[in-house]
Amino acid sequence: MAKRDYYEILGVSRTSTESEIKKAYRRMAMKYHPDRNPDNVNAEEHFKEAKEAYELLSNGQKRAAYDQFGHAGIDQSSSQRNSGSAGDVFGDVFNDIFGSGGSRQNDSGTDLRYHLDLSLEEAVAGTTAKIRIPVSIDCKICNGSGAKDGTRPTTCATCGGHGQVRMQQGFFSVQQPCPHCHGTGQVIKEECSNCNGEGQTQGYKTLSVKVPAGVDTGDRIRLAGEGGTGRGSANSGDLYVEVEVKRHDVFTRDGSNLFCDVPISFVTAGLGGELKVPTLSGKARLKISEGTQTGQQFRLRGKGVKSVHGGAVGDLMCKVVIETPVKLSKIQKESLREFDTTIQGGGDKHIPKYTSWLDGVKKFFD
């Protein structure tokens, strides 16, 4: 029996971040864990399935191989042995249900998102973009303590500086963030006037983002530790640069293929010929067959895009659009009428589709 798609199992997209995948697994684990569904065999199967999906997608190398080759590109045996990451997450799930067993600080910096517009040429070839982002930085007056200059935060008397208080709920002893210091373990008696006791202020920083060749709209570039600054010694968050490719004047992109319209005269369409068409790497010759119809597509192999996700270089699909001449002179109009007379006289030899259509119309009215 074919295995289900791991992203589908967790209900996430292929562009989901590690944090989003972890949250999705936690939801599944809380819903289907056997301890919460003792008589539900299906729930146990769902739990095992979610656990297997998370163990693979939380491993960067295995996820990359899975994205490129599917189930054939991963070693199932090693995936089964590597159960530590899913176990860690389930530990978090248990804590969410019954309360944490230790002190949990929430001073880590926040993750940030940045919207980056790129031209099609930049997205296909890759580039380095400089971006300026707002960030939270430690207050220069209080050095991140949040206390008034010349003072220091004091140890919280309620929790003794642990940031957690223990509460008895029936048979369970539950730890929760201290309501007095809000889990920080410290109390600020006089707040810093510059940051109002937050310990952080608004700032900006400029980053160089290396954009790999072949990115497309919806792709994300993760810059670890470049998000919001954590308080004190806490870790900074991550920055997720979300790519959007701007509309191009000539080409449209679909995956690794490029598409463009090529206007031609009806003379070229009828007699055939050779045109020079643009590609992202220069000009290319396009041979038009005799009797080409409007809307017909010609493929230029290897003139598309090599996706950042791997695979072969795509193709350029040129759709022929026959242009009807306008603002004709008297002589040109007379020439066209003479030409049309010779064409009509030839019947289905020259215009088979039109002749077939007329026959169908006649049968309809008869």
pLDDT by residue, tens only, the chain of 366 residues: 567 889 889 999 888 888 888 888 888 888 887 777 777 888 888 888 888 888 888 887 788 777 776 776 564 434 333 434 444 444 444 444 333 333 334 567 788 888 999 999 999 999 999 998 877 778 888 888 888 888 888 888 888 888 888 776 655 667 788 888 877 788 888 889 888 888 888 888 899 999 999 999 999 999 998 887 666 567 888 889 999 999 999 999 999 999 999 999 989 999 999 999 999 999 999 999 999 999 999 999 999 999 998 889 999 999 999 999 999 999 999 999 998 888 887 766 787 777 888 788 888 887
**70 belongs to a structural domain:** yes
Same domain, 234 and 264: no
SS3 210: strand
Same domain, 208 and 136: yes
**Would you say 298 and 240 are in contact if contact means Cβ atoms under 8 Å apart?**
no
Same domain, 14 and 81: yes
Same domain, 215 and 311: no
Same domain, 56 and 120: no
Same domain, 83 and 206: no
- Tokens for 94, please give them: 């248990």
Same domain, 18 and 85: yes
**184 belongs to a structural domain:** no
Same domain, 122 and 230: yes
Q: What global pTM score does this model have? A: 0.56
Distant-in-sequence, close-in-space partners of 333: CB < 8 Å, separation ≥ 6: none
Number of domains in the chain: 3
CATH code of residue 138: 2.60.260.20
SS3 209: strand
Same domain, 216 and 125: yes
**What residue ranges in the chain does DSSP mark as E strands?**
112-118, 127-138, 154-155, 164-169, 172-177, 186-187, 200-211, 220-223, 239-245, 252-254, 257-265, 273-279, 282-288, 297-300, 316-323
Q: If you ran DSSP here, which 8-state letter would residue 34 be given?
A: G
CATH code of residue 30: 1.10.287.110
Q: How far apart are CA 52 and CA 45, in angstroms?
A: 11
**43 belongs to a structural domain:** yes
- Tokens for 21, please give them: 């995948």
Distant-in-sequence, close-in-space partners of 197: CB < 8 Å, separation ≥ 6: 146, 147, 188, 191
Same domain, 25 and 78: yes
**261 belongs to a structural domain:** yes
Which residues span the domain enclosing 301? 252-324
Same domain, 283 and 303: yes
Residue/partner pairs of 105-108 with CB below 8 Å, 24 or more apart = 105/163, 105/183, 105/184, 105/234, 106/183, 107/184, 107/230, 107/231, 107/232, 107/234, 108/230, 108/234, 108/235, 108/236, 108/237
Same domain, 140 and 69: no
Q: HSE (CB half, 13 Å, CA atoms) of 35? A: 7
**13 belongs to a structural domain:** yes
CA–chain centroid gap for 168, Å, is 45
